[in-house]
Amino acid sequence: MKSVFPFLPWIGVAVSLCCAEGCGKPGYIKFAEDMCKKLGAADQNHDAIKWGIEQIRSQQDASPNRPITNSISSLPEWVKEVYSDSASGTVITAPTPQNDQVIVAWFSGRGVWGFIIGNSNCAPALPEDLFYFCRCKPGVFTFHSRTDY
């Protein structure tokens, strides 16, 4: 019997080719990797990492107690070069100085994403089971919640 839909076997091939080219990584991974590149450019143009380390030092000087989490009252304009919407920033002084870090994050119905700046031995303070991390360089990470969109 002849098939009424002779093109059906080709649909599977077309879908496979499409996914082989564009479906290799979940969107949140690609997003974090792209953000890492933008953060690198912001660091070259505006000393983003130096800004983060200065935020940590000023928090350490203002309050030697540990651990403490404080919001950053105003973020520099270059943050919009990493992602254009409004962000919130937080300085975390951890139980040990090695893990002190600045987290700048964006929130929406698509999840949470942002970047972390700490010293070269810093480990992200966010839970790995909920967030994907892209290590840009020692102590510098971008992240996205583990949801695909």
Distance CA 50, CA 117 (A): 9
Length of the chain in residues, anyone? 149
Examine the pLDDT at 50 and tell me if it is beyond 60. yes
Examine the pLDDT at 84 and tell me if it is beyond 90. no
Burial class (CB in 10 A: 0-12, 13-18, 19+), 147: middle
Give the distance, in angstroms, between the CA of residue 121 and the centroid of all CA atoms in the same chain. 18
Residue 5 domain flag: no
What is the pLDDT at residue 23? 53
Examine the pLDDT at 114 and tell me if it is beyond 50. yes
Residue 61 domain flag: yes
Distance CA 121, CA 127 (A): 17
Distance CA 20, CA 29 (A): 16
Residue 1 domain flag: no
Per the structure, the complete domain to which residue 59 belongs is given by 27-145
To the question of pTM greater than 0.85 for the whole model, the response is: no
